[in-house]
A and B are shown apart, each in its own frame.
Chain A
Amino acid sequence: MKDPRTPGRPGASGTAEGSARAFHPRAVRTGGLSVRLDVRAATVVVLLLVAALAASVVLIGTGDFPISAGDVLATLTGNGNAGQEFIVTELRLPRVLVGLLVGASLGLGGALFQSISRNPLGSPDVLGLGQGATAGALVVIVLFSGSATAVTAGALAGGLVTGLGIYLLAWKRGVHGYRLVLVGIGVAAMLTAVNGYLITKADLVDAARAVVWMTGSLNGRDWTQVWPLLALCAVLVPLVLGKARGLRMLEMGDDVAYALGVRVERTRLLLMLAAVLLTAAATAAAGPVGFVALTAPQLARRLTRSPGPNLVPAMCMGATLLIVADWASQRAFGADQLPVGVVTGVLGGVYLLWLLVAERRAGRV
């Protein structure tokens, strides 16, 4: 860890980069209340939100019947004509909302997992949660030819069971980061094999349906997917943010967190459970949309330049990424031609390679 370039004397004061950040967090105080405020992180969050909403408006306007951004806004505020109203509120708005919620859930789930495992590779994609949810969905599709709702339930159950399994396998007097990642990679490999087997067992119709589901797509998502996801986020997001300070302490190691009065194992179990739920629900709603959970927290972190889990920025980044990727795929290949999972997969794969190279240079892999 020692950096040979810096002489390490108090007199040789910080490099330009080193002294760039004020040491103390700013705070808003009134009376006995004080709330931490990281101006840069707050700015990043606002900008990402604006970007996500702008991209959403553009995405709603994109399709076989293009609608201008102005008309989209008019329709959303209740001033559109009947035709546009139907296309916007019944067809495209729920799809965009599912996209925003799935992206936000994946971003938050990824940030939680990466913080808990203290490793950027410790995200749900790598740990096999996506594969677990896929296995659940495939079982329903292939073995039971179940309805869309049953497939969603199967994916949710698959994700939860996988999350639980990884936790139990990785648990040895507490969950440790590297162990979690290695166990997760093993579980992911096994589940991939199971998924391959299930597809070979399927007849042609089911197999086609399974493959479409496995790519991860927002096509045809309607209000029935929006509500459960929204409800889950409404419960889990405040819960997780309430525990964020404990998570921040956990990044310094279990012993330090313990010494500071964090109930380490309980905090970690609760946050992992929330992360598994968020990821599984997102996967159940849109299929395994690859790499959003891996990339969003890291990109957010590079923007805020702030240590710590960066939960809210990661959430906003996830939503923005997914909507922009969906828009890009529709723009480049025509409406509903290319599932969004393909775009995030290609972008995320490039990012993963870069991350592996960077981690290798830093001597961490």
Chain B
Amino acid sequence: MRPAGRRGPGGAGAGGGAGTETGGAHRSADGGANENTKRSTGTVNRLSAENVTLAYDQRVIAEKLSVEIPDNSFTVIVGPNACGKSTLLRALSRMLRPSEGRVLLDGQVIQSMPAKKVARTLGLLPQSSIAPDGITVGDLVGRGRYPHQGILRQWSAEDERIVQESMASTGVAELADRYVDELSGGQRQRVWIAMALAQQTPLLLLDEPTTYLDIQHQIDVLDLCAELHEEQGRTLVAVLHDLNHAARYATHLIALRGGEVIAEGAPKDVVTAELVERVFGLRCQVIDDPETGTPLVVPAARKARASAAAGVAEGA
């Protein structure tokens, strides 16, 4: 920027003028930022991302992305592979520091907050987790209490009560003494959710909680999430692959493509044939789910898609 300005007007006096102009531009930029802050503190949502640019090393995943997580919602983020869903979730959970912009939790920049304080407000169920060798279910769930503990308060009666409750509400209480590595995939996922619950955070983020599970256990886990949302009033944010699951369970849907929000809102407003084609590049029909009335995506048959593609080719 600066070399260009210097080259521009030329002459000492004009150069000075350009300098003050740049100063003015800075001031107005600051004013803009203040306005943004005002707007964000005006909203009541506890978790939001403002103009974040997300990148791994040099590879930029998303630029100037802004997302609000409505309080008390079950928000689901959907989009094609590599659209930045999980990356956004990592940024929201402060595991990835945005190279620009900021993530706000309760009006504070999330990176500036003490790690344990964040961990008492916002929980995360990541995709990759390792159950240490020979750990029991109860012990693993108990580790969710870490952010509430300290060197002088290592295992209080309250910790014990909350661990019991978390195991009860995820249906793993009777597995408490079992070793985690002897459990089935579905049970293990419930145990990890129980651990995240024991953290007792009003906000809970889940990164593809249904991956690697069969359909019964997928529904099982999603039912559990809906329960946590409806009965315990927690704000849930999940990344899901299955659009139909998302449409059925979400109260708020965010559709991403190439690091941009294409649409957001209630599933019945968002999930349309046009949107699915725009986001996933898939021709389809959207009908009413006979069970729930939510939108149900039915991909077009192979022949129909092929003839449509041929039609496009002929037209061109």
Residues of chain A lying within 8 A (CB to CB) of residue B142: 23-25
- Could you say which of A10, A18, A20 has the most chain B C-beta atoms within 10 Å of its C-beta? A10
Which residues of the other chain, A, contact B134 by a CB distance below 8 angstroms? Answer: 305-307
Determine if A363 is an interface residue (Cβ-Cβ < 8 Å). no
Instruction: Report the nearest A residue to B127, measured CB to CB.
Output: A255
- Neighbour of B155 across the interface among A14, A19, A21, A27, CB < 8 A: A27
Which A residues from 1 to 57 make CB contacts under 8 A with B?
Answer: 1-3, 6, 8-10, 13-15, 18-25, 27, 29, 32-36
Q: Name the residue in B140, B171, B178, B183 with the highest tally of chain A Cβ atoms < 10 Å from its Cβ.
A: B178
Contacts of B1-43 to chain A: CB distance below 8 A: none
Residue contact B118 to A261, C-beta cutoff 8 Å: yes
Q: Say whether A256 contacts B129, CB under 8 Å.
A: yes
- Tell which of A8, A20, A35 touches B183, judged by Cβ atoms closer than 8 Å: A8
Flag if B129 contacts A24 (CB, 8 Å).
no
| Size of the chain A interface, CB-CB below 8 angstroms | 46
In the complex formed, the residue of B with least CB distance to A15 is B182
Contacts of B181 in A (CB 8 A): 1, 3
Task: Verify B129–A255 contact, CB threshold 8 A.
Answer: yes
Query: Known contacts A13-B174, A255-B124: does B139 contact A248 (CB below 8 Å)?
Result: no
Q: Chain B residues near A98 (CB, 8 Å)?
A: none
Asked if residues B183 and A260 are in contact (CB atoms below 8 Å), the reply is: no
Question: Contacts A22-B177, A23-B136 known; A262 to B182 CB distance under 8 Å?
Answer: no
CA distance A329 to B103 in the complex (A): 62
Q: Note all chain A residues with C-beta closer than 8 A to B147.
A: 260-261
Within 8 Å of chain A (Cβ to Cβ): is B44? no
Task: Report whether B116 and A261 are in contact in the complex, using a CB–CB cutoff of 8 Å.
Answer: yes
Please name all residues of chain A whose beta carbon is closer than 8 Å to the beta carbon of B174 when the two chains form the complex: 10, 13
Interface residues on B, range: 35 or more
Q: Is the CB of A8 within 8 A of B187?
A: yes
Is the CB–CB distance between B120 and A25 below 8 Å?
A: no
If the complex has contacts A2-B184, A261-B115, are A118 and B196 also in contact, measured as CB distance less than 8 A?
Answer: no
Determine whether the beta carbon of A248 is less than 8 Å from that of B143. yes
Closest CB of chain B to A208's CB: distance in Å?
45
List chain B residues, Cβ under 8 A from A259: 93, 95, 119, 123-126, 196, 199
Known A252-B131, A253-B126; judge A34-B163 contact (CB<8 A): no
Task: Evaluate contact between A18 and B152: CB separation under 8 angstroms.
Answer: no
Segment 231-274 of B: residues with Cβ below 8 Å from A: none
- The residue on A at minimum CB distance from B115 is A261
Closest residue of chain A to B144 (Cβ to Cβ) is: A260
A34 to B172, CA, bound (A): 26
Q: Report B51 CB to chain A, min CB distance, Å.
A: 23
- Contact across chains for A307 and B177 when beta carbons are under 8 A apart: no
Chain B positions within 8 Å of A256 at CB level: 126, 129-130, 195
Least CB distance, B236 to chain A, in whole angstroms: 15
- Determine whether the beta carbon of A8 is less than 8 Å from that of B182: yes
Q: Is the CB of B108 closer than 8 A to any CB of chain A?
A: no
The answer to whether A10 and B187 touch across the interface, beta carbons within 8 angstroms, is yes
A32 proximity list for chain B (CB < 8 A): 152-153
Judging by beta carbons under 8 Å apart, are A29 and B156 in contact?
yes
Secondary structure call for the B interface: mixed
Q: Is B138 an interface residue when CB atoms closer than 8 A count as contact?
A: yes
Neighbour of A23 across the interface among B95, B124, B126, B177, CB < 8 A: B177
For residue A224, give the distance in angstroms from its CB to the closest CB of chain B.
Answer: 35
**Smallest CB-CB separation from B173: which chain A residue?**
A10
Asked whether any CB of chain B lies closer than 8 Å to the CB of A85, the reply is no
CA distance A24 to B95 in the complex (A): 30
On whether the beta carbons of B187 and A253 are closer than 8 Å, the reply is no
For residue B153, which residues in chain A have a CB less than 8 angstroms away from its CB?
A: 32-34
Q: Does B311 contact A (CB under 8 A)?
A: no
- With A29-B156, A256-B126, A259-B126 in contact, is A2–B185 under 8 Å at CB? yes
| Residues of A with C-beta under 8 A to B115 | 261-263
Residues from chain A with a CB closer than 8 A to the CB of B138 are: 23-24
Q: Could you tell me the distance in whole angstroms from the C-beta of A290 to the nearest C-beta in chain B?
A: 25
Q: Cβ of A71: which chain B residues have Cβ within 8 Å of it?
A: none
B137 within 8 A of A: yes
* Chain B residues with CB under 8 A of A22: 177
Of residues 140 through 174 on chain A, the ones whose CB sits less than 8 Å from some CB of chain B are: 173
In Å, the complex CA distance between A239 and B149 comes to: 18
**For residue A262, which residues in chain B have a CB less than 8 angstroms away from its CB?**
115, 146
Tell yes or no: A178 within 8 A of B by CB: no
Q: A21 contacts which of B117, B136, B149 (Cβ < 8 Å)? A: B136
> Is A345 interfacial (CB 8 A cutoff)?
no
* Measured CA separation A211–B161 after assembly (Å): 60
Given A242-B151, A253-B126, do A19 and B146 touch, yes or no (CB 8 Å)?
no
**Are A260 and B146 in touch, CB under 8 angstroms?**
yes
Instruction: List residues of chain A with CB within 8 A of the CB of B280.
Output: none
B119 and A24 contacting across the interface, CB-CB below 8 Å: no
Chain A CB within 8 A of B314 CB? no
* Closest-CB distance, B162 to chain A (whole angstroms): 12
20 residue pairs bridging A and B, Cβ less than 8 Å apart: A1-B181, A8-B184, A15-B182, A18-B136, A23-B139, A24-B163, A34-B153, A35-B154, A36-B154, A173-B57, A249-B146, A252-B132, A252-B143, A253-B126, A256-B129, A259-B119, A259-B196, A259-B199, A261-B117, A307-B135
A interface vs B, CB < 8 Å? 1-3, 6, 8-10, 13-15, 18-25, 27, 29, 32-36, 118, 173, 242, 245, 248-249, 251-253, 255-256, 258-263, 305-308
**Inter-chain pairs besides A25-B139, A253-B126, A261-B119, 6 sampled, C-beta below 8 Å:** A34-B159, A249-B146, A251-B130, A259-B196, A262-B115, A263-B115
